[in-house]
Structure 1
Amino acid sequence: MRKFSDDFMMGAATAAHQVEGNNIYSDFWTMEHLPGTVYKEPSLDAVDHYYKYKEDIQLLVNAGLNTYRFSIEWARIEPSKGNFDQNEIEHYRQVLRFCHQNNVTPIVTLHHFSSPKWLISEGGWESDSTIEYFGNYSRHVVSELGELIPYICTINEANIGKQIEKIMKRMMAGANEKKSVKKQESVDVQVGLNVDLKANMEQYYRALGEAFGIDPRNVQTFISPRTDNGELIIMKCHEKARTVIKEINPNIKVGITFSLYDHQALPGGEPFVDKEQHEDFLNYLPFLQEDDFLGVQNYSRKIHGPDGVVQPDENTRVTKMGYEYYPEALGNVLRFVAKHWKKPIIVTENGISTDHDPDRVEFIERALNGVYQCIEEGINVIGYTYWSLLDNFEWQLGYAQTFGLIAVDRSTQTRYPKDSLSFLGNIKKAGLHGLKV
């Protein structure tokens, strides 16, 4: 029985704002506490990973895993423009050192959705000035911590703003036609950013403008619907960070991550698939040619017919998030990406929200079968990090979603590893023994 190579990176992922707690200088913290907020609840202490990171990484290690993808929080490092907090640098230095002490490969993300509040007040992700700001932040982090970071994802899901824009347009069209918005449409983005038009958006945006001290029409967070100019700014930020990183430490492997669905066509749906694949991924390729690896993030598929996206029927197996339960999507996406990308690929996110852990075990088994088959076909997949290590703050959806390999009682912050954690670890320790390859 063949197995994953010993140097294959296998582990789990988190994002700072979703797990650390008390990210008080970030735009998300501001939005969570606004009158009329669209967030179901504030992040507050989250799951206290800021203080309990050693316990959490140790649980990963004890399971037999060797990789941890996490983000460094820009709002902690630079809480006000141009002022860098050395205490926060030292915190992340300790996280990185703990990884190395335990033979865990750290994959660091420099930006995972949340931004400093001051950045949004300066124009946010539609402002050319953000390119220089992001470069300055990247330079500071890598100058201080680069020797401890083998892999950097500059930006998480660089295409998310464009995906949200498309969702908003579809929902507006449905509302204008007086059609009901189905569950799959209201939870359409792969990360739990619930774009619910029923909220009183006028009141919310008025409060948003006041909070950031600018015209509410100019509040451009990373997850705001994005213009073509905003798309270009994101990619220029990536290029700027890559240049800075390579100047300081050329040994660091630099990449970026994208949210990618497995787009499938029924007869007549092929033009829709071609369009989605171009907008989700192919359009970005010119900006990635000097990258060392690509981060692929996938949770489900979309089926397209002659009239566009075909919604799952009532008999379709779905996850707690409302996605179709379809672990095979990951292998299909890797094959699509590999047609256009010959350098290494890391699966930086793949997972399922469910309260029934055997469903998670099955999902992991089937998804990793797909990864293994892709490797056998010659596709250069070098790592897999499940989303997520911990049940955490799922953005606008709060704490109800459960993606984690580890449950957390937030009243005591006690950790409860799930069977799926040891299952994933056993795959790493024993290859694919017992899996149906």
Structure 2
Amino acid sequence: MTAYKSYRNNTKTKYNIMKRRDFVKASSLAGLGLMIPSNPLDVLHNLNIDGKNYQFPKGFLWGVASAAAQVESRQGRARTDWDVFADWSGQIEDGSINDKCTEFETRYEDEIKLLSNAGIQAFRFSMSWARIQPDGSGKPSEKGLETYDRIIDTMLKHNIQPIVTMEHTDCPIWVGDFRYRDMSQRMADYADIVTKRYGDRVKQWIVMNEPNTTALEGYGVGKYAPGVKSIKALGAAIHHQNLAMALMISASRANLPATSKVGTTINVQPVRGNKDTPDYRKAIDFMDAVWNRAFMNPIYGKKDYCDVVKPMAAPFVQAGDMETLYASNPDFLGLNYYTAYYVKPDPASPVGIAQDMPPAKYPRTAYFPVVTDGLVETLERIHNDYGAPEILISETGFAFNDPAPVNGVVNDPERIKYISEYLKAVHAAIKKGIKVSGLMYWSSTDNWEWSHGFTKRFGLIHVDPKTQIRTPKSSLAYLGKCAKANTALEPNK
């Protein structure tokens, strides 16, 4: 019996999706090359270095990413935890709120056309739970469901593979939060709804995004929604999110064909310090435990919580929970990697540590330092310590203070330079036998970057905040050329 079977047996809502199935047949999906290969990682014979460009395996997926809470407006959905946090916390850097963002839910077609024309093959996006179930548990909103029907169908029309993240950090107010166990069950119900509706067209699914960020930043230090500062809440959020992921994976598999893939996304990072002292080593071990091992160990390593995390999570673990986590067996790991995490001891922090500046040797963008060796270290650690899973790099990207558009394009050579560096690091990992199946650049457009508001511009597409007009950047053309050639090109090529 699957972990979700009792839920599934009690679900009575049925959906008429025959028209959507007809759409898939009409679009000749397999002929477009959008189906996920049975094993996209086994064709390495063409992995050659010609001295300049770096060939990737056949089937390597080149894409972009976004999140509903950062690109969709508030129109047509219920209020979320991030709406409340943005409105009342006073912690949004530029004082903005997420009321409009980039209005993706109505302007998606212009964006998808730009991506398709450039050669982008996949779009990892998230669905807003608050749009699909605005009025609470029970029957979902048909209007909300149809929003994502249109988005998915438009991607397929333009030869772009949709990769869906079910929950990307924001949740409707009515579900509560991760201090409470029933949140996990409600998320499983939500996974059941969306996979039934869209499983005929979406072949790759991510159940949650960065549960480690949500746990530490949202429940430990209070910098993200819901703004809680508590070790106890941190422990609850760790375990209840792990349980939610396992139940969501189980619920999804009950609805999806065997050819579909279901995984989750974790922001795995090397944790480092600028000093080698006992208090720094303790801070590093704590951060690595709550950031990396708390989520990688049970879901991917089939191991109990480590010694640092176990006392925090223990009050919330019930009989059979760990077995449920071990049995989840995700098909792949979505890895979000931007940089290494430098920490220092901080007695004033609710968790006893604080983020520190990395060494000056690493170049800085407008946000994160560029730590290429950390990407290599992370890929090797996942491969060696967690059973060599398939890895989809579900996010990586670089924020810059880009110039204004000139003649219909934004020139951003620095972004191209660092995309190239990270791609070459991924290529080197593949040469070592690490199974990396694709890379999704964060993000498709400049958008609302959580507590930083609109101050951090990661996008391959510039968005005018007044007119919402999309203008491509030169980095979009670069990534599109890489996708077409299936190589990491030199930046000047």
- TM-score > 0.5 by shorter chain: yes
Does residue 76 of structure 2 align to residue 30 of structure 1? Answer: no
2:381 alignment counterpart: 336
Question: SS at the partner of 1:325?
Answer: coil
2:212 alignment counterpart: 159
Bigger Cα displacement from structure 2, 100-109 vs 298-307? 298-307
Q: 2:271 aligns with which of 235, 241, 263?
A: 263
Question: SS at the partner of 1:410?
Answer: coil
Q: Which has the higher contact order (CA 8 A, sep 6+)?
A: 1
Q: 2:226 aligns with which of 192, 214, 221?
A: 221
Does residue 292 of structure 2 align to residue 281 of structure 1? Answer: yes
1:88 alignment counterpart: 144
Matches within 5 A, 1:111-260: 111-120=167-176, 124-164=177-217, 168=221, 221=226, 226-251=233-258, 252-260=260-268
Q: 1:100 aligns with which of 156, 160, 169?
A: 156
CA offsets 1:86-118 (integer angstroms, 9 cap, x no match): 111111112112222222221110001110111
Deviation at 1:59, TM superposition (A): 1.1
Name structure 1 gaps, 5 residues minimum.
169-192, 196-219
Does residue 392 of structure 2 align to residue 346 of structure 1? Answer: yes
Deviation at 1:248, TM superposition (A): 1.2
Deviation at 1:30, TM superposition (A): 2.9
8 Å CA contact 1:355–1:402 kept in 2: the answer is yes
Q: What letter matches 2:74 in structure 1?
A: N
8 Å CA contact 1:125–1:221 kept in 2: the answer is no
Deviation at 1:142, TM superposition (A): 1.0
In structure 2, the CA distance between the partners of 1:327 and 1:52, relative to structure 1 (3 Å rule), is farther
Alpha-carbon distance in structure 2 between the residues aligned to 1:134 and 1:374: 34
Bigger Cα displacement from structure 2, 231-240 vs 272-281? 272-281
Deviation at 1:264, TM superposition (A): 4.3
In structure 2, the CA distance between the partners of 1:243 and 1:388, relative to structure 1 (3 Å rule), is same
In structure 2, the CA distance between the partners of 1:306 and 1:22, relative to structure 1 (3 Å rule), is closer
8 Å CA contact 2:396–2:442 kept in 1: the answer is yes
Deviation at 1:407, TM superposition (A): 0.5
In structure 2, the CA distance between the partners of 1:72 and 1:50, relative to structure 1 (3 Å rule), is same
Does residue 346 of structure 2 align to residue 292 of structure 1? Answer: no
Question: SS at the partner of 1:155?
Answer: strand
CA offsets 1:238-265 (integer angstroms, 9 cap, x no match): 1111111111114321111111223346
Alpha-carbon distance in structure 2 between the residues aligned to 1:41 and 1:283: 33
Question: SS at the partner of 2:271?
Answer: strand
Q: TM-score normalized by structure 1?
A: 0.80
Name structure 2 gaps, 5 residues minimum.
1-49, 301-325, 347-352, 403-411
CA offsets 1:352-384 (integer angstroms, 9 cap, x no match): 110242221111000000011111110000010
Alpha-carbon distance in structure 2 between the residues aligned to 1:103 and 1:240: 31
CA offsets 1:104-149 (integer angstroms, 9 cap, x no match): 22111000111011113xxx11111112211111111111111111
Aligned CA RMSD, in angstroms, stands at 2.7
Question: SS at the partner of 2:199?
Answer: helix
Q: 1:20 aligns with which of 72, 89, 107?
A: 72
Alpha-carbon distance in structure 2 between the residues aligned to 1:92 and 1:419: 29
Alpha-carbon distance in structure 1 between the residues aligned to 2:151 and 2:229: 31
In structure 2, the CA distance between the partners of 1:327 and 1:194, relative to structure 1 (3 Å rule), is farther
Question: SS at the partner of 1:125?
Answer: coil
In structure 2, the CA distance between the partners of 1:435 and 1:134, relative to structure 1 (3 Å rule), is same
Alpha-carbon distance in structure 1 between the residues aligned to 2:433 and 2:281: 27
Bigger Cα displacement from structure 2, 377-386 vs 257-266? 257-266
Bigger Cα displacement from structure 2, 326-335 vs 270-279? 270-279
Deviation at 1:310, TM superposition (A): 5.5
Q: TM-score normalized by structure 2?
A: 0.72
CA offsets 1:186-223 (integer angstroms, 9 cap, x no match): xxxxxxx957xxxxxxxxxxxxxxxxxxxxxxxx7398
Alpha-carbon distance in structure 1 between the residues aligned to 2:161 and 2:236: 35
Alpha-carbon distance in structure 2 between the residues aligned to 1:375 and 1:330: 12
Question: SS at the partner of 1:60?
Answer: helix
In structure 2, the CA distance between the partners of 1:421 and 1:79, relative to structure 1 (3 Å rule), is same
Bigger Cα displacement from structure 2, 330-339 vs 23-32? 23-32
1:45 alignment counterpart: 100
8 Å CA contact 2:362–2:369 kept in 1: the answer is yes
In structure 2, the CA distance between the partners of 1:148 and 1:386, relative to structure 1 (3 Å rule), is same
Q: 2:370 aligns with which of 325, 347, 357?
A: 325
Deviation at 1:45, TM superposition (A): 1.6
Q: What letter matches 2:196 in structure 1?
A: S
Q: 1:311 aligns with which of 357, 375, 378?
A: 357
8 Å CA contact 2:85–2:227 kept in 1: the answer is no
Question: SS at the partner of 2:254?
Answer: helix
Deviation at 1:65, TM superposition (A): 1.3
Matches within 5 A, 1:51-62: 51-62=106-117
8 Å CA contact 2:216–2:234 kept in 1: the answer is no
Alpha-carbon distance in structure 2 between the residues aligned to 1:245 and 1:378: 29
Alpha-carbon distance in structure 2 between the residues aligned to 1:359 and 1:291: 35
Q: 1:302 aligns with which of 321, 341, 357?
A: 341
Deviation at 1:10, TM superposition (A): 0.8
Bigger Cα displacement from structure 2, 308-317 vs 5-14? 308-317
Q: What letter matches 2:299 in structure 1?
A: F
Q: What letter matches 2:62 in structure 1?
A: M
